[in-house]
């Protein structure tokens, strides 16, 4: 059984939404949001600028950014934004240039409306003005493969054990299980809490058995 077969029931919802934002170096935020129940896919890349074909070494005026696909029945956009603003410093004097800018790109009028509302709420909670650059979404350029699921890739023994599910490294990008493992190794989830979540995934008995057995026996 391959990972697409296992995860298809989890990822097939037509109600998934996408959030795009930058909050400093994109490695940590991808791990943080990848650990959250309701987040289905994570990926890192570049957004917010005009430089064509940005790369990590030649980013131009883009910002390190992450995108998540999430199920609003489990985690609402409002909660995504609260998590976003509570976990980085959203003021411009913290950043030199645009690479690590606090940035939010909203998909449609509804996300823009929610963002302004939650921003006001979080300014009260944080006790200071939020200077996140908020604008309508235009584009997102996927970063190089080596930056995707960065913390998980620091464990080559684990990647070897995942080989049967991910014969190609690029397959990690869209995997919910890989997103959770990336958050786990960064310390955002405990083993027990992740085992409990996996046991509740509606992916069929065989799929749950494969993932639970693999994770419980994984050598790091």
Which residues form the catalytic set? 25
Residue 120 contacts residue 45 (beta carbons within 8 Å): no
Only one residue has tokens 């994570």, namely: 42
132 contact partners, CB below 8 Å, separation of at least 6: 85, 90, 102, 103, 104, 119
Could you give the strand order of the β-sheet that contains 133-136, starting from the edge strand earlier in sequence?
Answer: 133-136, 102-106, 17-23, 63-70, 39-47, 141-142
- The pair of structure tokens assigned to 84 is 């976003």
Neighbours of 129 (CB within 10 A): 9
Beta-strand runs (E) in 10-169: 17-23, 39-47, 63-70, 102-106, 133-136, 141-142
Distance (Å, whole) CA 191 – CA 40: 19
216 contact partners, CB below 8 Å, separation of at least 6: 195
- The pair of structure tokens assigned to 86 is 């509570």
């Amino acid at each position: 059984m391959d990972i697409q077969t296992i995860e298809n029931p989890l990822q097939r919802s037509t109600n998934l939404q996408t959030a795009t934002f930058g909050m400093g170096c994109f490695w940590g935020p991808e791990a943080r949001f990848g650990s959250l129940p309701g987040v289905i896919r994570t990926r890192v890349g570049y957004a917010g600028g005009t430089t064509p074909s940005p790369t990590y070494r030649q980013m131009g005026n883009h910002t390190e950014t992450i995108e998540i696909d999430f199920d609003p029945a489990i985690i609402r956009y409002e909660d995504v934004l609260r998590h976003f603003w509570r976990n980085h410093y959203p003021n411009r004097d913290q950043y030199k240039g645009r690479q690590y800018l606090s940035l939010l790109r909203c998909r449609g009028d509804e996300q823009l409306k929610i963002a302004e509302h939650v921003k006001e709420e979080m300014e009260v909670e944080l006790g200071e003005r939020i200077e996140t650059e908020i604008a309508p979404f235009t584009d997102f350029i996927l970063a190089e493969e080596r930056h995707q699921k960065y913390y998980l890739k620091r464990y080559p023994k684990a990647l070897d054990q995942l080989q049967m599910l991910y014969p190609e490294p690029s397959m990690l990008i869209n995997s919910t299980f890989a997103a959770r493992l990336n958050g786990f190794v960064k310390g955002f989830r405990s083993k027990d809490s992740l085992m409990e979540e996996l046991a509740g995934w509606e992916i069929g008995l065989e799929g749950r058995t494969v993932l639970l057995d693999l994770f419980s026996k994984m050598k790091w």
